[in-house]
Amino acid sequence: MRKKQSLLWLALLAVFALAAASCGGDDDSDGTTSPEPTAAPTTMADTDTEDTPAPTTAAADTEDTPAPTTAAAEEAPSEPEMNMTPGSGVSLTMARANWSTGYFQAYVFEQILEELGYDVSNPADKELGPSLAYLAMAQGEADFWVNSWYPGHNSWLRPDLPDGSTVGDHVGAVGALMPASGLEGYLITAAFADEFGVYTLDALNDNPDAIAAYDANDANPGNGVVDMYGCPESWTCDNILDSQIAFSGWENIVQVKAGYDAMLAEAVGKARDGEPMVAYTWAPSAYVAQLLPGANTYWIAVEDILDDSNPLNAEGGDEWDQRGDPNDPCYPECASANIPPDSCPDAAVKGTCQLGRLAANILASSRFDVLDANPAFASILESVEIPPLDVNLASLQQSTEELSEEGIQEQAAQWIADNRGLVDGWLDAARAAAMG
């Protein structure tokens, strides 16, 4: 058991390292390009104060300074007292994504905003996929969430509303919660990939023997194609994967769309037993740690990166372009990461692992009118940053300990306590914003 736990932790650390090293452009606030990274926030482990200079004592501060006279002290104008609860009397409806790796950060925001006096609805009360979440925000049924994955989710800002406006006229990205931190890609059972020499999805699609071996025991055995574990409908990743399949001409690969956790449980079991499987997954999450790239699985590469041609003619499908920012030095092959060959054999040939998916910007999105009316709320959404490694670790604990909603709320409270100095800085900035 101890060895298995060590492998899980090492896998998470490896995921964090490769996500940080992923190629791709920097993001700006509209979610279409990446923001410049700011100073790294304190993590759960950053509690060492050994190198922090001790504050000067009151005696030292006043040693050479004459004390003011009583009259002078009485005449000095007093500064206006900062409103400690600028959100008092304001109710906010918060949504959250219907994938479990978004729960932790949702509760972090909820609890921070409540310290400012806001009455925030429990995010669990409005759990939505992105196809409904942006529409709900645009129509005033929700005010914000912190589970946007841009640029993929830009397509959900396109739909028209009954009044002639678009969703994006009312809702948009804000802040830099986890820029360029949403690593996405596909994992394949290592023993199967080695047996047939299939280290790209293109090679798998073109290998009849590998397809037959895979098809014998996949989700729909005997249909003559590879049934890949994909995404639930309405998550956007399902649309992008369908577009990639059409764009690459993979006639022998199809995507299974079902409940993600149930699919991944099957995938983990098959990978552990050396049986064929290919699964879409992402980080920050516990999923990569469970599938163990470099041990049970490999990252399987993609040869041709999806562009803006929208092969399925889907609404907003041009937004699913995975080539990256044309101004980026890596363009048009930014959908790659510095994954070593023992975890991505195709990297031995190309020097990098072409995942086929850009590192997403995980950001908050909110109604513009709510941001404008609540400067303290806007300040929190703009300021809060959570290290992806902390989300990975929270997700792993949720998975291994099967945490309840109350348990995840306690995780968020503990993270806030462990990062109290950082959080207090965000709160002070929000209170100052409210003062104008």
pLDDT tier, 17 (very low <50, low <70, confident <90, very high otherwise): very low
Identity of the amino acid at 426: W
Domain range summary for the chain, segments of one domain joined by +: 91-180+362-435, 181-359
Given a cut of 90, whether residue 352 has pLDDT beyond it is yes
pLDDT tier, 80 (very low <50, low <70, confident <90, very high otherwise): low
pLDDT tier, 77 (very low <50, low <70, confident <90, very high otherwise): very low
Q: Are 389 and 13 in contact (CB under 8 A)?
A: yes
Q: How many CB atoms lie within 10 A of CB 195?
A: 14
Given a cut of 90, whether residue 126 has pLDDT beyond it is yes
Given a cut of 50, whether residue 53 has pLDDT beyond it is no
Q: What is the pLDDT of residues 270-309, one digit of tens each?
A: 999 999 999 999 999 999 989 999 999 999 999 999 999 9
Percent share of the chain, pLDDT over 70: 81
Per-residue confidence (pLDDT) for residue 40, from 0 to 100: 34
Q: Are 411 and 104 in contact (CB under 8 A)?
A: yes
Q: What span, in angstroms and rounded, lies between the C-alpha atoms of 71 and 77?
A: 12
| Average pLDDT for 341-345 | 97
Task: Establish whether domains 91-180+362-435 and 181-359 are of one fold.
Answer: yes
Please give the CATH number for the structural domain made up of 91-180+362-435.
3.40.190.10
Please give the CATH number for the structural domain made up of 181-359.
3.40.190.100
Given a cut of 70, whether residue 163 has pLDDT beyond it is yes
Q: What span, in angstroms and rounded, lies between the C-alpha atoms of 336 and 331?
A: 10
Considering only CA atoms, which of 155, 125, 154 is closest in space to residue 142?
A: 125
Write the DSSP assignment of 361-430 as a string of letters. EEEEEEEHHHHHH-HHHHHHHHH----HHHHHHHHHHHHHHT--HHHHHHHHHHHHHHTHHHHHHHHHHH
pLDDT tier, 262 (very low <50, low <70, confident <90, very high otherwise): very high
Given a cut of 60, whether residue 15 has pLDDT beyond it is no
Degrees to nearest 5, angle at CA 108 with 19 and 85: 140
Q: What is the pLDDT of residues 369-425, one digit of tens each?
A: 999 999 999 999 999 999 999 999 999 999 999 999 999 999 999 999 999 999 999
Average pLDDT, the chain: 86
Given a cut of 80, whether residue 71 has pLDDT beyond it is no
Per-residue confidence (pLDDT) for residue 74, from 0 to 100: 43
Helix (DSSP H) and strand (DSSP E) numbers for the chain:
17, 13
